[in-house]
Structure 1
Amino acid sequence: MPPRVAGASTAVRTPRAVACRDGDVMNERIEVEPRRPGALLRRDDAGRVGAMRRIAASRLRFCGLDALIDEATLVVSELVTNAVVHSGTDEVRVTMAVDGDFLEITVIDGRPGAARPKQAGENAESGRGLELVAAVAKEKDGNWGTREAGAETWCRLALPEEAR
């Protein structure tokens, strides 16, 4: 092995996937600026949504659940955005856990008020997030809903056969 050079970067070996069975895959929280109705989403808060998406992808990869990365990151993005935009809260928590044959993604904003899909107009730039979550859940033999009077929104996606 060649000698190390001060200040030189070292290549990092990608760790082998670790089977995450019946347990936590991710448990993260972000602080956001409470949003008033009609106010635009702050750039920092939008960046935090992207960070949650990247963390989710990384954790799924670490757990060998690469086959669910696209669908799960879309669900995380939509549910976290929904919480930031509509709850008026200052903290959002995201958990992902393997529960039997499913990956369950839960977004907790702590504010009651059930999330409901709405009909977005043909030219609307928003309003389709929960419809996307419902479609992804259906495609992956799962479902979605709310708990705790709407303070938690969850989505379950069936694990691929090779991960069961």
Structure 2
Amino acid sequence: MPAWPPSSTAVFGREVVVNTCFAVSPCVDRSGVLEDDTRRVSSMRRLVRDRLASCGLRGLLDDAELIVSELLTNSLLHSGGTEISLALCVVDDELRIRVGDGIPRVPHPPRQPGDDAESGRGLDLVGYLVNARHGAWGVSSDGRFTWCILSTAEEG
């Protein structure tokens, strides 16, 4: 399996599905997320759905859309940055997804939410979906990107 994510912000792959970047307002806390920013996440979900459908990857639509939504939302809520990038590409039998915020930090294991917590389970869900698709996910060593790889071998 080739190294992922790439060391630069360029997307390497045979078929670039999505490569975009959008501005967001720095989020101080969960209640500080602006409606415009939540709409951007929603529009990115629709973009991913449309692009994967046009590439004949309909069987990945739901999982990829949910993964992209979780990764974008995490970046929006936790980075404090002003820009988020989203890249998807198809390489051989893999769909590669990368979300970045450009903020270097030491990656740390996700915290475990309490039984009554209303949030904090997104990365567990990402991990489950990635494993079900025989893939992998992680965070770049400098903390700027979260990435995942999903197998497309069972698709079209």
User: Scaled by the length of structure 2, what TM-score is found?
Assistant: 0.85
Counterpart of 1:98 (choices 90, 114, 118) is 90
Q: 1:81 corresponds to which residue?
A: 73
Question: Separation in 1 of the partners of 2:95 and 2:19?
Answer: 13
Unaligned runs of 5+ in 2: 1-12
How far the C-alpha of 1:100 sits from its partner, in A, is 1.8
Q: How is 1:27-106 mapped onto 2 (pairs within 5 angstroms)?
A: 27-37=19-29, 39-106=31-98
Secondary structure in 1 aligned to 2:18? strand
Counterpart of 1:116 (choices 104, 109, 131) is 109
Q: 1:155 corresponds to which residue?
A: 148
How far the C-alpha of 1:116 sits from its partner, in A, is 3.3
Amino acid at match of 1:89: G
Larger Rg over CA atoms: 1
How far the C-alpha of 1:160 sits from its partner, in A, is 3.7
Secondary structure in 1 aligned to 2:128? helix
Amino acid at match of 2:46: R
Q: Report Cα offsets for 1:112-140 as digits up to 9, x if no partner.
A: 23263221111111111111111100000
Question: Separation in 2 of the partners of 1:56 and 1:81?
Answer: 15
Secondary structure in 1 aligned to 2:127? helix
Question: Separation in 2 of the partners of 1:156 and 1:52?
Answer: 18
Q: 2:123 corresponds to which residue?
A: 130
Percent identical among aligned pairs is 42
Secondary structure in 1 aligned to 2:112? coil
User: Following TM superposition, where does structure 1 have runs of at least 4 consecutive aligned residues deviating by more than 4 angstroms?
Assistant: none
> CA distance change for structure 1 residues 132 and 116 in 2, over 3 Å: closer, same or farther?
same
Question: Separation in 1 of the partners of 2:44 and 2:65?
Answer: 8
Paired residues in the alignment total 143
How far the C-alpha of 1:37 sits from its partner, in A, is 4.2
Amino acid at match of 1:143: A
Amino acid at match of 1:151: R
Does the CA-based 8 Å contact 1:117-1:128 persist in structure 2?
no
Unaligned runs of 5+ in 1: 1-20
Q: 2:6 corresponds to which residue?
A: none
Amino acid at match of 2:34: R
How far the C-alpha of 1:60 sits from its partner, in A, is 0.3
